[in-house]
Chains A and B, each alone.
Chain A
Amino acid sequence: MMYIWKEFLEQTRGKGLWFGLGMLMITSIFLIAEARQFPADLGFEALLLSIFDMNIYLIPLFAMFLTSFSIFQEKELKTSMILLTKKESTFTLIFKKSIAIQLVIITAFVSAYFVLALFMKAFLAFHLMSFLHFIIVIMIFLFIFNQVGLFLGVACNTKMQLVGANILTWFFIVFLTDLMFLYFLPAVTFDNLRIFSWIYFLDPIHTLRFYLEANLGLFSLSHMSRLMEKFVFMDSWIFLLINVTLWPSLFFGLTTLFRNGGTVDD
C-alpha cells in the first residue's frame, strides 16, 4: 500500500503523467469530433478503433517513459538502495514497484477514458459493451508496456541512455516489426502459414487490434478464405491471454535478471 501511495504522489506531482493524459484526451476529442460524420449505427465502434490506432503511437511511448523514469528515479535518488539494505530483496522491490506502477498508470489512463466516455455519450450512439472491450484492450496494452518500461528503467545506467532506449524500443515495436513483416510477407505460403501466424499474433499490437476489431463487429470471421481460416486458427481471446501472460512475465523476469544493470558497485 505504501508503494502505491508513494507512486501515486510521485506520478501526480510530476508533469509526465499529466502531459500524457492531456495528449491522449486532446487527440481523442478530435477523433470524437471527426466521428460525428460516421454512419450512426456503428460509428461509435469505428471511433474506438480510430482511438486505438492513435494509441498504437501514444501508449507505448507514454507507458515506457513514465514507468522507466519512475524506477530509474529510485536508483538515482538512492531510495532503492535504502530499501534494499533495510527490508526488501531486489525481487520484492521490483514486484511491489511493478504493482504500484501498473495500478497507478492504468487507473489514471482508464479514468481519462471514462471522462472521455461522457463526450462519446453526448455526441455519439454510445454502446457500453463495445466501450468495455476497448477498456480491456487499453488496460492490457498499458500492462504490457509498463512492464517493458520497468525493464528499461532498471537496465539503463544514465538518463540519456534511458531516453535513447525508450525511443528505440518504441520505434522498433511500432514501426520496425511491421516493416519486417511486410518484407517477409512474400515468403509466406500455405505450408509455413502457421509459423507466420504465431509470430504475428505474438505481437501484442496485432493481437489487441484483431481482438478489438472482431469484438466490435468490425471484422467478420465468417466467409474467410482458406488461407485466412488457417491463419486465424485460434480464438482471438486465447491469443490475447497468451500475450497478457507472456510479455509481462518475460519482462518482469528480465527486470529481476538485469537488476544490477544500472547500479555501480563501489
Chain B
Amino acid sequence: MKKRLLMLTLVICSFLFASVASAKEEALLQQLIEEVPTGGTLELEGKPYTGNIVISKPITVIGKEGTSIEGDGTGNVIEIRSDGVTLDTLAISGSGMSRSSQEEHSGVRVMANDAILTNLTITNSFHGIFLNKSKNTRMSNITVVGHGADQLGTQGNGIHIMRSSENYIDNSYLEKTRDGIYVEYSHNNFIDNNTMTDTRYGLHYMYSNYNSFKENDFIKNVGGAAIMHSDHIHLENNKFSFNQGSRSFGLLIQTSRDIHVLNNEFHLNQRGLYLEQSTSNRIEGNDFFQNEIGIELWTSSTSHVFIKNQFNNNKVHALTVGGESNNDWFENGVGNYWNMPLLDLNQNGIGDDPLEYSSSLSELVEENELAYLFLSSPAITIYEKANDLLTHQKVMAFDKYPIMSERKPINMTGVGVGIILVSAVVYVYRRRALR
C-alpha cells in the first residue's frame, strides 16, 4: 500500500513539475523576446521551446539545428505584429486546429509588413503561414507538411495569403496540405521555384490580380494550379505533372482574363489545361505531353490565343466542349505544333495547308463524366474513325499556320548496320537449317 502511495505521489509530482517547467520555458521564450532590444537579434539554442509567442517589435529570431517551437494547440504558434521581423532556422508545430474558433490558426501568422521568413519547417498546424494584410513579406526555403489527402478538408493551406501584396515566396516545399499556396484578394505577389505536391490545388488564386509565378513544380496534386476570378496573371516555365484523378488538371483558369501562360510543361495530367468561363488569355509556347486531354476548353471561354504550343502523345490534343467557341489557334502567321503529318513543300517551317483538329469526344464528355474512363481505351480510335465517316466529328481547333516538327534526321548508318546484322543472322540460321 505504501509503495502504491509513493508511486502515485511520484507520478503526480512528475506531472506537476513538468507543467511548471514548460510554463517556465514558455514564459522564458516570450520573456527572451521582450528582453531583446528593438532591431536586436535573439539567438536560440538547438533545443525545443514552448509557444505560443507574440512578437511586437522589429527583431530577428534565429535558431540552430534542433531549435523548435511547439505551440499549445490553441492559437498561432508565432504571431508577428510588428514590421521588420525576421525568423530564421526554426521548426514550428502545434497551432490550433479548430475550424470554429474566431480565426484560423497557423504556425506563423504575419500581421505586419517587411517580415523575412527563411529556413522554417512547419508541421502539425492548421495553416503553415498566414499573411493577413501584410506587404513585402519574403519567404524562402519554407517547408510545410500537412496531414494528407484523407484530411484535406479539415486542414488549412501551406501558405495562406489574404489581402496582402508584394510578397515573395521562393525555394519552398509544400506537401499534403489543403492548398499549397492560397492567394485571396492579394495582388502583385511573386511565387518562384517552389514545389507543391499531394495537395488539393498546388497554387490557388481567388480574386487576386497582377500576380506572377515562375519555375514552380506542381506534381501529383488533385489540381496543379487554379486561377479563379483573377486577372492579369503571368505564369512561366512551370511544370505541371501527374495531376491525375477523375477531375484533375494541370492548370485551371476559371472566370479569369488576361492570363499569360508562357513556356510551361504539362506532362501526364488528366487534363493539361482546363479553361472555363474565361476570356482573352494567351497560351504560348507550352509543351503538352502525354496528357489524357491536352487542352479542355469549354464554350464559355472565348477570345483566347494559342500559339507556338507543342502537342505530343496526348490522347486528345484539344477538346472544345459545349459547342462552337471563338478562339484563335494562330497569330501573325504562326500556329502550333500538332504532331500530325503535314506537307511543307516551300520549306518555311509552316504546313502548306491549314490543320483542322477534329474529334467527336466532346459531346461524350459533355454528356457524361464517365467518358474520361475510356480515353485510354483502344476503342477510342475506332470510335473517332466511325464518327469521322458518319460526319459526327466537330472541329476542335483550326490552325491556319501549323508549325512543322523539328525532326532529327534519321541515323541512316545505324539503320543500315542494323539491317545488315539482322540479314546476317537470318542467313546463317537458314544455312544451318539447310544442312
Contact = CB atoms under 8 A, between A and B. Distances in A.
A224 B245 contact: yes
Contacts of A185: 364, 367-368, 370-371, 374
| Range class of the A interface residue count | 35 or more
Interface stretch (A6-14, A213-221, A237-245): A213-221
Contacts of B367: 185-186
Interface stretch (B52-60, B85-93, B378-386): B378-386
A174 interface: yes
B370 A46 contact: no
B382 A53 contact: no
A138 to B, nearest CB: 17
B35 interface: no
A51 to B, nearest CB: 13
B247 A182 contact: no
A218 B378 contact: no
Nearest to A46: B268
B245 A222 contact: yes
Interface in A80-107: none
B267 interface: yes
A223 B247 contact: yes
B200 to A, nearest CB: 6
Which of B248, B290, B373, B377: most chain A CB closer than 10 A? B377
B303 interface: no
Interface in B32-55: none
Contact of B378 (A46, A175, A227): A175
Contact of A182 (B152, B239, B248, B379): B379
A178 B245 contact: no
Interface string A165-191: 000000000111111011001101000
Contacts of B368: 185-186, 188
Nearest to A227: B369
B373 A39 contact: no
A220 B249 CA distance: 12
B408 to A, nearest CB: 14
Contact of A228 (B200, B241, B246, B379): B246
A126 to B, nearest CB: 17
Contacts of B377: 178, 182
Contact of A219 (B239, B245, B364, B380): B245
A123 interface: no
Nearest to B371: A185
Contacts, number: 103
Interface in A198-247: 200, 206, 209, 213, 217-225, 227-228, 231
Given A39-B239, A223-B247, A224-B246, A188 B370 contact: yes
Contacts of A213: 244
A174 B369 contact: no
Task: Determine the main DSSP class of B at the interface with A.
Answer: mixed
Contacts of B379: 174-179, 181-182
Contacts of B247: 223-225, 228
Contacts of B239: 39
A220 B364 contact: no
B162 interface: no
B149 interface: yes
Which of B247, B290, B374, B379: most chain A CB closer than 10 A? B379
B150 interface: yes
Contacts of A175: 378-379, 382
A209 B377 CA distance: 10
B244 A219 contact: yes
A21 interface: no
A129 to B, nearest CB: 16
A56 interface: yes
A3 interface: no
A36 to B, nearest CB: 13
B245 A231 contact: no
Nearest to A53: B376
Which of B149, B244, B290, B364: most chain A CB closer than 10 A? B244
B220 interface: yes
A2 to B, nearest CB: 30
A182 B222 contact: no
B245 A223 contact: yes
A5 interface: no
Interface string B345-382: 00000000000000000001001111101101111101
A41 B242 contact: yes
A143 B219 CA distance: 35
Interface string B126-165: 0000000000000000000000011010000000000000
Contacts of B149: 220, 222-223
A19 interface: no
A139 to B, nearest CB: 21
A45 to B, nearest CB: 8
A116 interface: no
Interface string A45-59: 010000001001100
B245 A217 contact: no
A200 B377 CA distance: 13
Given A219-B245, A223-B200, A224-B247, A179 B382 contact: yes
Interface of B: 149-150, 152, 200, 219-220, 222, 239, 241-242, 244-248, 267-268, 289-290, 364, 367-371, 373-374, 376-380, 382-383
26 contacts: A39-B219, A39-B242, A42-B219, A42-B220, A42-B241, A46-B290, A56-B378, A177-B379, A178-B374, A179-B379, A179-B383, A181-B379, A182-B380, A185-B367, A185-B368, A188-B368, A200-B373, A206-B373, A213-B244, A219-B244, A220-B248, A222-B245, A223-B247, A224-B246, A227-B370, A228-B247
- CB-CB nearest 7 A-B residue pairs: A178-B379, A220-B245, A178-B377, A222-B149, A179-B379, A228-B246, A223-B222
